[in-house]
Structure 1
Amino acid sequence: MESSSPSVPFPLLQTPIESNYRACTIPYRFPSDNPRKATLIEVQWIDLFLNSVPSFRQRAENDPTVVDAPDKAEKFAQRYTEILEDMKKNPESHGGPPDCILLCRLREQILRELGFTDIFKKVKDEENAKAISLFNGVVRLNDDVEDDGKRVENLIRGILAGNIFDLGSAQLAEVFARDGMSFLASCQNLVARPWVIDDLDNYKVKWTKKSWKKAVIFVDNSGADVILGILPFARELLRRGTKVVLAANDLPSINDVTYPELVEIIAKLKDENGLLAGVDTSGLLIVNSGNDLPVIDLTNVSPELAFLANDADLVVLEGMGRALETNLYAQMKCDSIKIGMVKHPEVAQFLGGRLYDCVFKYNEVLNY
């Protein structure tokens, strides 16, 4: 389902008055801070975005769809760098004070103004093709696990391993460009449990004892993330009788999968009978979330998503942007999962964990 209507609040989010909803997880400043002086946290996050400028410039200058791409890529780098430096001097400039939503928004606005609509398109297509070729093998490995609890742990580990394909992280973008990434190796090399937030054992117990009628899953990155991580998990839910709604971005942002791309991926993975590795997909829906950033403010989603989510009893937010940097403490009216890998030192520091640590936060609502 494609959205063209004004955004609305996500219906399963506790109302802001009830939950004091704030999209950004990390408090960048407090009321007592000087509004004209950047806080230490604001400077750290501005520097994080500054460090990513070279990798974005490189992707932009190699965009074959844009005339004079190298010159325009340099203009992007200069303009965005100037804005970030301005915000260090005056956090209220350029619509501040800054947080991860504003910093992402400004970056995307500059790219789009210069004609760059999807600078990660080539690498997304390549990684999607690789992951599609591996999908059936990954599913078979999961299906071979007879114990329900062990199988769902494998599926969760797959989501976390896939989530490492994140070109918004300057460090991971450099590693990916140099070495590539192996999904199975990533599964085996996740940091040891217990993770910095680790409700997996509790969720495994609930998985074996209850079922959900409908799940809404906010997906994250292209490639191994959505195809080898999220889709095997979604398929397992379908096999258990749960209807599944996959919510993907409206517009391209970093290497996040978009709604049209996800529709195409699912079409390629289904067989001639419409089955996903042998599982009926009549209960699977794909919807435009209405979002155009790697982070999300749940007070602004598409009406189509809001309609489909209204009777769901499980919400899954996946990825560092949607589930950690935003919405980690968002309260839902139903059961919820926030899952992602910690790929920024600033997030690790805030959570008291390690770089590349994992988060699996499960909240059960008994009276929904």
Structure 2
Amino acid sequence: MESTGELVPFPLLNESNYRACTIPYRFASDNPKKPTPTELSWINLFLNSVTSFKKRAESDDTVPDAPARAEKFAQRYEEILEDLKKDPESHGGPPDCILLCQIREQVLRELGFRDIFKKVKDEENAKAITLFKDVVDLNDAIEDQTKRVQNLVRGIFAGNIFDLGSAQLAELFAKDGMSFQASCQNLVPRPWVIDDLDNFISKWGRKLWKKAVIFVDNSGADIILGILPFARELLRLGVQVVLAANDLPSINDVTYPELVNIITKLKDENGKLVGVDTSNLFIANSGNDLPVIDLTRISQELAYLASDADLVIMEGMGRGIETNLYAQFKCDSLKIGMVKHLEVAQFLGGRLYDCVFKYNEFSG
């Protein structure tokens, strides 16, 4: 079911100086009627993705006259983006990654498109479910704790490559798909552009957390072969885990109902995930409907479940890098994701497909 009720701030967020957008698109000294170079760069990034979104919309057989409506979507969204180039204050601007995503989703929904990536999400979820036990067994076979955590983290990065919001990755995926194991092996070498993995593993070995909240990202390999083996390891060690998923569909992000269905399929007849008890696993509707997230607007359900957590994990480029990379929390936090836009790589001083692993230990 869709989240109901008023959206509230995430209770563990330190709201002082919080900005949902990581990259500054403009400054107070900029001309409000003239787009900044950063705004133009991001508007063009979203313009370049219109073709892949139009193709997905055209093939949505749940929508009558899908090809004609897909054409209207492309025309309308491109017109809005061109308007923002001329006047950044039009259409609720000035633009940032949240507004550009909001407008795209709004245009799709107004034309009757609710979930244009549904088919590919279902296909990738089904494929990843068949591989889940093999991935978990490989992790379980690693006796050294440090190496096991490293392997689980590499799995999160490998899974996070499945992102149809990136035009280049969408094109690559449509061409020949991507192998999870190959992705694990082909990650850019450490040190990554932000690399606090050693500090995180040190904390892991010294004192485990009691409750972790993970804001999850994409369907398929990302959630099933990346996040869930990591969450299962936390469960195995006695940590309560809350997985927070989107309320409504956006790109190929996993939604709350989809995640509930995935977990149900992965559990055995005793309710276990490959031998690990799941009584401490909770699935929450985040109240979000975008591939990025403003943590001042989450569901009351998630706020309640998260209030006593001591570790917050923001996973994926949208939630953990493009928004919330510098967000501060009243507990330990981890931002983890792959850099899949050149604009983000340039801002961070890293490489395209570089990895971000930003761990902050709360000092109280």
TM-score normalised over the length of structure 1: 0.98
Give the drift of 1:3.
2.7
Match for 2:114: what amino acid? T
Matched with 1:41 is: 38
The reply on whether 1:196 has 2:193 as its aligned counterpart is yes
Matched with 2:249 is: 252
Query: What is the 5 A alignment of 1:1-368?
Result: 3-16=3-16, 20-367=17-364
User: CA–CA distance in 1 between the matches of 2:195 and 2:92?
Assistant: 36
Contact 2:84 2:91 (8 Å CA) reproduced:
yes
Listed as ranges, the gaps of 5+ residues in structure 1 are none
**C-alpha RMSD of the superposition:** 0.7
User: Over residues 87-146 of structure 1, what are the superposed CA-to-partner deviations in whole Å (9 max), with x where a residue is unaligned?
Assistant: 000000000000000000000000000000000000000000000000000000000000
Match for 1:81: what amino acid? E
User: CA–CA distance in 2 between the matches of 1:105 and 1:15?
Assistant: 22
Contact 1:222 1:256 (8 Å CA) reproduced:
yes
User: CA–CA distance in 2 between the matches of 1:343 and 1:15?
Assistant: 28
User: CA–CA distance in 1 between the matches of 2:15 and 2:69?
Assistant: 42
Contact 1:250 1:259 (8 Å CA) reproduced:
yes
User: CA–CA distance in 2 between the matches of 1:171 and 1:104?
Assistant: 18
Q: What is the percent sequence identity of the aligned residues?
A: 79
Give the drift of 1:204.
1.0
Give the drift of 1:223.
0.1
User: CA–CA distance in 1 between the matches of 2:206 and 2:23?
Assistant: 34
User: CA–CA distance in 2 between the matches of 1:351 and 1:48?
Assistant: 17
Give the drift of 1:2.
6.0
User: Over residues 313-341 of structure 1, what are the superposed CA-to-partner deviations in whole Å (9 max), with x where a residue is unaligned?
Assistant: 00000000000000000000000000000
Match for 2:258: what amino acid? E
Match for 2:312: what amino acid? V
Query: Alignment partner of 2:49: what SS?
Result: helix
Query: Alignment partner of 1:130: what SS?
Result: helix
Query: Alignment partner of 2:188: what SS?
Result: coil
Structure 1 segments (4+ residues) deviating >4 Å: none
Contact 2:333 2:360 (8 Å CA) reproduced:
yes
Give the drift of 1:15.
2.2
TM-score normalised over the length of structure 2: 0.99
Contact 2:2 2:248 (8 Å CA) reproduced:
no
Give the drift of 1:366.
3.1
User: CA–CA distance in 1 between the matches of 2:271 and 2:304?
Assistant: 25
User: CA–CA distance in 2 between the matches of 1:211 and 1:134?
Assistant: 28
User: Over residues 5-40 of structure 1, what are the superposed CA-to-partner deviations in whole Å (9 max), with x where a residue is unaligned?
Assistant: 110000000023xxx000000000000000000000
User: CA–CA distance in 2 between the matches of 1:32 and 1:4?
Assistant: 40
User: CA–CA distance in 2 between the matches of 1:3 and 1:348?
Assistant: 34
Contact 1:247 1:286 (8 Å CA) reproduced:
yes
Task: Work out the number of aligned pairs and report it.
Answer: 364
Give the drift of 1:205.
1.1
